[in-house]
Amino acid sequence: MPAHGLHQLERMVGAPLRDIDLDGPVPLELFADAGDVTDNRRSRRQLVAGIVQRERPNVRRLLHRLAGARGHRVAAGTPEQIADTVEE
């Protein structure tokens, strides 16, 4: 069980997550009060809220993404794929 990642996510959302299903979707209500996720001056919580809203990951996938890139998008692939990611 990814205890450290869950603990960090609990701190971010201000709610206990110890009984959450790691393979279930991230509950959108955890980020309901994150504010405008389209503003360029985003907090870490808003950044993660944007990921949850756009990608609808399960909890395990979100924790994996946050562990590797701390919530920031990572581009990998061919030069064309990376250019597409930058344009997006």
Write the secondary structure of the chain as one string of H (helix), E (strand) and C (coil): CCHHHHHHHHHHHCCCCCCCCCCCECCHHHHCCCCCCCCCCCCHHHHHHHHHHHHCCEHHHHHHHHHHHCCCCCCCCCHHHHHHHHHC
- pTM, 2 dp: 0.67
The mean of the pLDDT values for the chain is: 81
pLDDT tens per residue across span 59-85? 999 998 888 655 566 677 899 988 887
**Average of per-residue pLDDT across 7-28:** 90
Q: Quick one: pLDDT band at residue 27, thresholds 50, 70, 90?
A: very high
Average pLDDT on 35-57 reads 76
Q: Mean pLDDT, to the nearest integer, of 45-69?
A: 87
